[in-house]
Structure 1
């Protein structure tokens, strides 16, 4: 028999949470929110490939600008995704995940209202920043919410749903563009608003906050250098095929190589680097 004081010291939630931050009754909300948030990024990417010709016509974008509507998003996503994952460790997965979703849907709304190609490119880059926080957070919060014996099934459901939304993207995009005309491309971005808001509601209203796991730095300097280096390289490579901009290809590629070397030197000096370069040994 335990004394009353000993019984009071036992956490009441321990059987329900089973070693995770989330009670069993709330875990389905984590999974639904993660699936909806992942769908935001996957649907955008797959539908946008179909909608690019319509965007070019509607906004009068050049070939190079059309390439950068996709490149800007991919660049910030790939360069910042490691820093985005570290944000979940530092601030808590739920908080970082909600922040990434919120930034993504605000940028999506701005993309839907973009008056020209340059504004669209700028907000696509902001979308990529939100996705860099959101994408690693979607898988990580599932892993943290579910106990080990249930985690594989939950991740399998999430992966299957993500694959389905990616496959359906071009089909839905092609049907909508054919049925409603070129101007409907703005709805591709606007649809992110209700999906994102539902995800945020579920996370804030139905899922408890998790504690940060470690107080590691985010290495924002390394993230900025990586973005500039890969951005310069991408700009140089796309300039090679762009009419009237071929003269910028060489200087841009050279600048990208120099910035990449600076990034490597910077990472070697960091106590908590974004990329542990020892892994490449």
Structure 2
């Protein structure tokens, strides 16, 4: 346990302790990322083995996203209060146990429940991986550490679908989940031995558990109604009740968060989502664009791997490898796109990128039976990847730049949650609306028709995002926005599942509340040194207590 004694906030990246910390955090975030990408490749095999229809596959994907999106902000706050390493390890063990339940599932219902439990584990470990880096490394090493964490995570995202396809083909879909167990054991061993514990000594007040539960009920009720209404599996009265519950929970969530935001202090729960963060019109606009973009992307990633196997006759390995060009282009071009956006403003690069990505989606929709990878798939996903590479890094940087500095962390967490909620709701709604219901998996012609219409709808969502960007996003958004005088920089890689959780800048002057500017070192001394960008730290509304260097 020698390295655990390392002083949080003073670990150097090039040392042995620094490398161990980076390994633990990369493996932890990669655990959740790999599972999310690999499961999509395994969906046709799951359907064949468990007799699932497309509604069952929607729930297999959405159950995980639902609990992850609903509890990720709360998960970060638990780490601040009780120790980031401790909650990270709880999340890893929880995730592994749920993976075992997935692997032994005897029917679709058991698999869906187990996937929901996996999402809870993901909500505990995902924010913790970046928070540990922010809390552990010395201030002048944090930017490089976060960059390494991000780049290595991109490699995991590239390898995941290919490895998943190979596992499905060679050993069966259950091994996709079994693989998580030894990986989780390695993470626990490394983290318990080499990662120092850290917490926010100023984390106080009660948790906003009611807010988290209402958010999960809002997403769950709405998702159930959207998924089950066209399938005919559930009675109309049950579907209507679920839709009403989702709407009522959403209204209740907003009311609870507004009330708690107006009565800060004392032992009262602090809001999980301070609604004042939406006081910036630019921030609200960019999150609306995020919702459209990630909704369309979520449906494409859900359906494309299915389509290639059901209609195109691709093997799981070939289908899993089909999206490798997208990840490769993101790795190569995201940072450059962010740099361009910082020079000329995010408005035109984002709008142009969205239109190119929409054109790529239309090309994807033309992939049919007997498709050739080189002739049909590669050009389509390359065009889509080029467009996406121009969008995601500027979008993420603009989200950070258009929120007040004291909300830098919660702004990142909100944007991440918006993206996940968009994918969740779009995967629930769009396939049934385009005819992909019931037994479409066993009718390649019907699936091909529904897939083409789905891609057209998703392309329209991206085009709408381009129009909204041109109408609402300012060219100066990355330079000076409502008291935040910094220029957030792009990572070398941005996740396609949701925007990466971000640390806050090292120096974030903000006098909007009458206070004085505070540099990163002062906040390190005051609060424990983690950047709020993991999406959980300041989610309870209090100061994040850490200064992170700009991640470049």
Aligned partner (choices 178, 189, 208) of residue 190 of structure 1: 178
Q: Distance in 1 between matches of 2:233 and 2:195?
A: 53
Whether the 8 Å contact between 2:89 and 2:191 is mirrored in structure 1 is yes
Q: Aligned runs of 1:117-132 on 2, under 5 Å?
A: 117-132=108-123
TM-superposed deviation, 1:56: 1.2
TM-superposed deviation, 1:249: 4.2
The alignment's TM-score, normalised by the length of structure 2, stands at 0.46
Q: Distance in 2 between matches of 1:187 and 1:78?
A: 25
**Counterpart residue number, 1:171:** 162
Whether the 8 Å contact between 1:59 and 1:116 is mirrored in structure 2 is yes
Alignment CA distance shift 1:211-1:230 (3 Å) = closer
**Counterpart residue number, 1:236:** 225
Q: Distance in 2 between matches of 1:232 and 1:76?
A: 12
TM-superposed deviation, 1:216: 4.2
Whether the 8 Å contact between 1:22 and 1:207 is mirrored in structure 2 is no
Q: Aligned runs of 1:17-28 on 2, under 5 Å?
A: 17=7, 20=9, 22=11, 25-28=16-19
The alignment's TM-score, normalised by the length of structure 1, stands at 0.87
Q: Distance in 2 between matches of 1:217 and 1:30?
A: 30
Q: Distance in 1 between matches of 2:192 and 2:11?
A: 13
Q: Distance in 2 between matches of 1:78 and 1:261?
A: 18
Q: Judge which range, 38-47 or 163-172, deviates more.
A: 163-172
Which structure 1 residue ranges, 5 or more long, are not aligned? 1-15
TM-superposed deviation, 1:21: 6.2
Q: Judge which range, 239-248 or 221-230, deviates more.
A: 239-248
Q: Distance in 2 between matches of 1:246 and 1:167?
A: 41
* Higher normalized contact order (CA 8 Å, seq sep 6+, divided by chain length): 1
Q: Does 2:209 match 1:220?
A: yes
Whether the 8 Å contact between 2:84 and 2:131 is mirrored in structure 1 is yes
Query: What's the secondary structure of 1:150's corresponding residue?
Result: helix
Q: Distance in 2 between matches of 1:244 and 1:118?
A: 13
Q: Which has the higher helix share?
A: 1
Q: Distance in 2 between matches of 1:176 and 1:97?
A: 27
Alignment CA distance shift 1:200-1:221 (3 Å) = same
Q: Distance in 2 between matches of 1:187 and 1:55?
A: 12
Whether the 8 Å contact between 1:90 and 1:216 is mirrored in structure 2 is no
Alignment CA distance shift 1:244-1:204 (3 Å) = closer
Q: Distance in 2 between matches of 1:149 and 1:44?
A: 33
Q: Distance in 2 between matches of 1:61 and 1:21?
A: 51
Q: Does 2:208 match 1:210?
A: no
Q: Does 2:43 match 1:52?
A: yes
TM-superposed deviation, 1:22: 4.8
Aligned partner (choices 270, 273, 277) of residue 271 of structure 2: 273
TM-superposed deviation, 1:207: 2.4
Q: Distance in 2 between matches of 1:48 and 1:67?
A: 12
**Counterpart residue number, 2:522:** none
